[in-house]
Amino acid sequence: MDTTNRKGMEKLYLKRLFILLFLFPASLWAQDALSETPVRSTDTEAINEIVTGLNTVWMLLAAILVFFMQPGFALVEAGFIRTKNTANVLMKNLIDFMFGSILFWFIGFGLMFGVGGFVGTPHFFNLDIMDKVIDNGLPIEGFLIFQTVFCATAATIVSGAMAERTKFSMYLVYTIFISVLIYPVSGHWTWGGGWLMNGEENSFMTNIFGTTFHDFAGSTVVHSVGGWIALVGAAVLGPRIGKYGKDGRSKAIPGHSLTLACLGVFILWFGWFGFNPGSQLAAATGTDQTVISHVFLTTNLAACAGGFFALTASWIKYGKPSLSLTLNGVLAGLVGVTAGCDLVSPFGAVMIGAICGIVMIFSVDFIDHILKIDDPVGASSVHGVCGCLGTILTGLFATEEGLLYGGGYNFLLAQLFGTTVVGCWAAGMGYLIFKGLDKIHGLRVPNRIEEEGLDIYEHGESAYN
């Protein structure tokens, strides 16, 4: 019986081996045939839909992170001012996004991304027109909300520098001008197809510099615009009561909660991982994933370097490692690297963060003691000065066109020119708007309201009861 079973098993194994030897070449032939078969259009469409879906989800996720920067700004500003004005500054940060979103949807989006040289053509609510103009493969509604959160960031920077003495009604008015005029126009020059980013043959930038202005995520477009408007607004408004003595010396007016300020900086740091990497607007391909990862790394390194070197500089300058200046140092590093986070190496990001963190310390001192401009949160230095500085430093540290990497002076000069033009536009328009509002209605609250606090008089309630 055993012999019979063994012979049967051998025959079965031989049959199976024969089948395998016959089917293996057939399977290889089938694979070759499939590989030679052209992909059907329906398959291409399905792949494109997946790619568009991934890119859309990434863009909206980044928009969520940038939106979350709004409470970050609110907490930083609230922490750096006095208790009696907390509800007022929180209200301003809230109204920035609500009012700014409606205004940017209504007209600002078209002015920034519409067809035109100096400024885009207004669209007045009609997104179908913008969908035909903007061809980036993404839903126009998603792209609008992504750009809206950036616009809100530029507007909210101003509230901190002008805190504790500005009429709430006047704040509403100049928020309109920022959302529908100042930011969209300079944004059109740089991100909306305008003359600073036009690289066509015989364009202005190509003829003069041989290259275009580069601001990947908004060191100049967003942050310096908000920073220069904030500086001019604080200058026109004048210092808080008691800020400068009769001898002209500056007196410290401490904020009521460094705890809130520190939490706000951590939230902003977190949100910046949407602000910078999200500006790639795509995540489906290997190239996109590499760029996003690189930007994540350079953004974080610059923040760490900015905070560390600000801490060190404040320790040397004032004898103590200042928490408030360290917090602003982190923000200075983030603002500085935002322009070139896609072009600089990790070492370049650390250098940009370190330089911005140190310069911020001396900028705060210069604006406060020399210019006599009262900026309670240091927004002018962090966003205005470091936004411009970081954009210019991109011309030094960019690994391809940067001066320190053998790229010559052209890219550096283009960066310097673009930063200067946008800065002059923001500061000049800010001055005209603030001066006009001050003459017409007055920007500042009466002395009694300022001394007793804006919360009760302006809003009828207090943040702390």
Bigger pLDDT: 369 vs 135: 369
Phi-psi region at 128: left, alpha or beta (left = phi > 0; alpha = psi -120 to 50): alpha
| Residue 37 lies inside a defined structural domain of this protein | no
The average pLDDT across 307-335 equals 97
The per-residue pLDDT for 44 is 85
| Residue 133 lies inside a defined structural domain of this protein | yes
User: pLDDT-based confidence at 11, cuts 50/70/90?
Assistant: low
| Residue 364 lies inside a defined structural domain of this protein | yes
* Residues whose CB is less than 8 angstroms from the CB of residue 123 and which lie 6 or more positions away in sequence, other chains included: 107, 109, 110, 114, 129, 130
| Residue 318 lies inside a defined structural domain of this protein | yes
What pTM value is reported for the model?
0.90
Q: How many domains does the chain have?
A: 1
Q: How far apart are CA 180 and CA 106, in angstroms?
A: 9
CATH number at residue 342: 1.10.3430.10
| Residue 13 lies inside a defined structural domain of this protein | no
| Residue 229 lies inside a defined structural domain of this protein | yes
The average pLDDT across 195-199 equals 92
Instruction: Return the residue matching tokens 């994933």.
Output: 289
Q: Which domain holds residue 196?
A: 51-450
| Residue 1 lies inside a defined structural domain of this protein | no
| Residue 2 lies inside a defined structural domain of this protein | no
Residue 19 above 70 pLDDT?
Answer: no
For residue range 132-171, what is the model confidence (pLDDT) as tens digits? 999 888 999 999 999 999 999 998 999 999 999 999 999 9
User: pLDDT-based confidence at 46, cuts 50/70/90?
Assistant: confident
